[in-house]
Amino acid sequence: MGKTQRIAIVGAGLGGAAAAGLLQQAGFQVDVYEQAPEFSRLGAGIHVGPNVMKVFRRLGIEKPLEAMGSKPDFWFSRDGFTGDYLSRIPLGDFAKREYGAAYVTVHRGDMHLLQMDTLAPGSVHFDKRLQTITDSGDDVHLTFADGTEARADIVIGADGINSRIREALLGVEAPNYSGWVAHRALIRGDQLAKYDLTFEDCIKWWTEDRHMMVYFTTGKRDEYYYVTGVPHPAWDFQEAFVDSSREEMYEAFQGYHPTVQALIECTEEVTKWPLRNRNPLPLWSRGRLVLLGDACHPMKPHMAQGAGMAIEDAAMLTRCLSETGLSDYRTAFALYEANRKDRATRVQAVSNANTFLRTQEDPAWVFGYDVYEQPLREGIAA
Ligand code: FAD
C-alpha cells in the first residue's frame, strides 16, 4: 500500500482555513501550520459578499454567518462634506435574488471562528512559525521555529502578505507601502442613540483623497465599525499597527458630515494600519509549492474583497485538485492559476485604485461570481 498523501497549508488565516475545510471535505489529508500560539478573535469588521457566501454554503457555515451578521439593504456612497448620495447599490433581498446569496457584514474574528470549527480535530497546529521550506522534487520538507519539522506532498502558502512561501518562490522582497493608512475603530451601538442622526447599515463617506467606510458587525446592531483610507506620507513604525487618537481622526476628517463627526466623538480606541500591496506575481506556483490569498495577490482593502479572493482561491484550488488528483498537482496548479489570475488581478487593480461603488455601477461581476459554476479554462502545467 502506498503512503498517505498529505497537503500542508501554512497559515490558518481566512484563506488557509477555507482551503483546509474545503480540501478536507473533498477527502484530502490536510495539516495546517499556524504561527500564532492559539486562535484569537483578531481584527474588526469584514464584508462578506455573495460570491464568498456561496463558498461558505459548501462549508456549511452560510446560515450561521447570515444569522450572526448584519445584512445591509444597500451600500451607500456619500459625499463626505455635503452628505449627497453618490450611489445606492442594492443588497439585501436584491443580492439574494440577483447574486444568489446574502451580503453580510460581520466581525472578522467571529467569521474566522466559524471557519476554524469546520476543520478536522487535530489538523491545525498552532505555534508553528515556518522557517525553511525545501522542495526536494519527491516531497516538501518544512521546519518550524520551535525546532519541529514536517513533510508533505504539496504545500499551500496561505501565509499572508509577508509570505515565506512567496519568498521561497520569488526571493525576498518587501511589499510596497501604498501611501495610505487605515484607521479602524469599533463603537458600541448604544452610543449612537444619543444623536439625532441616521447611522446607515453600510456606508462609505468619500472626498477626493480619503474615505471612511462604516457598517455594523452584528445583526443586533450593537457594534458599529469604521475603517478609513487616509494618505500618510510614510510608515516608519516597526509594528504591524499603532495606536491613533480621536484628535488625529478629527484632523483627518475636518469638515466632514456631522454623522462622521459623531462617530469620531464616540471613538474610544482607534488604531492605524499601513496599507500595503504588491504588483501581480509572475508565478503562482512552482514544483510542489502554490500560493493563495494575500501571499499571492495582496491589495488595498477598498473593495472589501481581499479575503473574498483568498476564499475563492481556496475553492478553485480544491476544485482543481479534486479534478486531477493530488499526484497530478502540476496540472492542478496550472488549472488553478489559469482560472484565478485574471479575476484576482482585476480585483487587485480596482481595489488599489479605490473606485469600486463610488458611483452607481453594476457590481454583478464581483458579487454574482460563483466559483463552482465557472467552466474550467485549461492551464498549461509548469
Ligand atoms: P491572512 O489573513 O493574513 O492570514 C495569514 C496567516 O498566516 C496568519 O494567520 C499568519 O499568522 C500566518 N502566518 C504568516 N507567516 C507565517 C509563518 N511563517 N508560519 C506560519 N504561519 C504564518 N477583505 C475582505 O474580504 N473584506 C473586507 O471587508 C476586508 N477589510 C479589510 C480591512 C483592512 C483594514 C485590511 C488591512 C484588510 C481587509 N480585508 C478585507 C483583506 C483581508 O483581511 C485579507 O485579504 C485576508 O485576511 C487575506 O487572507 P489570507 O488568509 O490570505 O492571509
The DSSP H or E segment spanning 104 is: strand 104-107
Q: In testing the pocket of ligand 1, which one of 46, 130, 352 has its CB within 8 Å of the most ligand atoms? A: 46
CA angle 9, 13, 14 (to 5 degrees): 110
Which atom of ligand 1 approaches the CA of 131 most closely?
18
- Coil vs helix vs strand at 143: strand
Residue nearest to atom 9 of ligand 1 (CA): 13
Contact residues of ligand 1, CB 6 A cut-off = 10-16, 33-36, 46-47, 128-130, 158-160, 164, 182, 184, 227, 273, 293-295, 301, 304-308, 310
Burial of 293 (0-12, 13-18, 19+ CB in 10 A): buried
The DSSP H or E segment spanning 372 is: none
- What is the number of residues in the chain? 382
CA of 128 to the centre of ligand 1 (A): 17
Among candidate residues 99, 103, 215, 225, the one labeled active-site is 215
Among candidate residues 33, 47, 103, 297, the one labeled active-site is 47
Residue nearest to atom 33 of ligand 1 (CA): 301
What pLDDT, on a 0 to 100 scale, did the predictor assign at position 236?
A: 84
Give catalytic status of residue 47 as yes or no.
yes
CA of 84 to the centre of ligand 1 (A): 34
Q: In testing the pocket of ligand 1, which one of 65, 124, 159 has its CB within 8 Å of the most ligand atoms? A: 159
Residue 2 has pLDDT above 70, yes or no: no
CA of 15 to the centre of ligand 1 (A): 8
Per residue in 128-138, pLDDT tens?
999 999 999 99
CA of 231 to the centre of ligand 1 (A): 22
Q: State phi, psi for 247 to the nearest 5 degrees.
A: -60, -45
CA of 277 to the centre of ligand 1 (A): 12
CA of 264 to the centre of ligand 1 (A): 26
Q: Stretch 253-281: mean pLDDT, rounded?
A: 96
Residue nearest to atom 8 of ligand 1 (CA): 13
Q: In testing the pocket of ligand 1, which one of 38, 156, 216, 294 has its CB within 8 Å of the most ligand atoms? A: 294
What pLDDT, on a 0 to 100 scale, did the predictor assign at position 4?
A: 84
- The set of residues, in sequence order, having a beta carbon less than 8 Å from that of 371 and lying 6+ positions away, is 51, 54, 55, 312, 315, 316, 319
Q: In testing the pocket of ligand 1, which one of 14, 42, 116, 276 has its CB within 8 Å of the most ligand atoms? A: 14
The pTM of the full predicted model, rounded to 2 decimals, is 0.97
108, 43 in Cβ contact below 8 A?
A: yes
Q: Stretch 137-147: mean pLDDT, rounded?
A: 97
Burial of 38 (0-12, 13-18, 19+ CB in 10 A): exposed
Which atom of ligand 1 approaches the CA of 36 most closely?
11
Average pLDDT, the chain: 96
Per residue in 318-362, pLDDT tens?
999 999 999 999 999 999 999 999 999 999 999 999 999 999 999
What pLDDT, on a 0 to 100 scale, did the predictor assign at position 233?
A: 87
Give catalytic status of residue 85 as yes or no.
no
pLDDT band at 235 (very low <50, low <70, confident <90, very high): confident
Which atom of ligand 1 approaches the CA of 45 most closely?
28
Per residue in 85-134, pLDDT tens?
999 999 999 999 999 999 999 999 999 999 999 999 999 999 999 999 99
Which atom of ligand 1 approaches the CA of 161 most closely?
3
